[in-house]
Amino acid sequence: MIKILFVCHGNICRSPIGEFVMKDIVSKNGLSEAFHIESSATHTDEIWNGVGSPIYPPAKEKLRENGIGTSDNELGVGAKRARLTRRDDYDRFDFIIGMDSANIRNLRNLFGGDPEGKVHKMLEYTDRGGDVADPWYTGNFDATWKDVSEGCHGLFRAILTDRRFAEDLRGCVGDDDFYGNEDPGRTYDDFPRG
């Protein structure tokens, strides 16, 4: 199973958008059984007495606008609550995706570094790099959606083309020769979009 953790400051905007965009992508590609996807926070700002806040309403609305969190594609959006990133998350996940430089710094501090190279910035998986726009300060959920969607699609493409994950994916796609030849018959830019 391929395990991905998306992380932002409060776990109510950017990282839940990442979590549910990625869940939507893998679901549309028939690969849900091959993935475990969560999101978490680097700070407790949105966690009160051990109970996390739900997804910020404008973020939830942006998901709905794009067909995620609807009655026919709920994916757990309604039940999502903010949670704090824990030190043991480093051992539990293959990819830990921070939304900005501050998240990456906080994650490396929490984990005592990144000895296995699991911590990455979301936009490393795009052709432009940088930080994901933070809608908490800008109110611009369109920019955040664009950044996170592009990053998730880039990450998904990177996983599909990485032979380390061949065994996890092989059983789900029903193709024993998924990685076995020069042209596996998949065009990585043609998968259904989140």
Cα dihedral 18, 20, 106, 45 sign: positive
Query: Is residue 64 flagged as an active site residue?
Result: no
Query: Is residue 170 flagged as an active site residue?
Result: no
Q: How far is CA 121 from CA 15, 57, 178, in A?
A: 12, 25, 28
From CA 74, how far away is CA 71, in angstroms rounded? 6
From the list 8, 24, 147, 152, the catalytic residue is: 8
From the list 89, 100, 134, 147, the catalytic residue is: 134
From the list 13, 14, 83, 147, the catalytic residue is: 14
Can you read off the two tokens belonging to residue 114? 């990144």
Query: Is residue 108 flagged as an active site residue?
Result: no
The shares of helix, strand and coil residues in the chain, as percent rounded to the nearest 5, are 45, 15, 40
From CA 130, how far away is CA 56, in angstroms rounded? 23
Question: Nearest 5 degrees, angle CA 136-CA 142-CA 143?
Answer: 75
Query: Which residues are marked as active site?
Result: 8, 14, 134
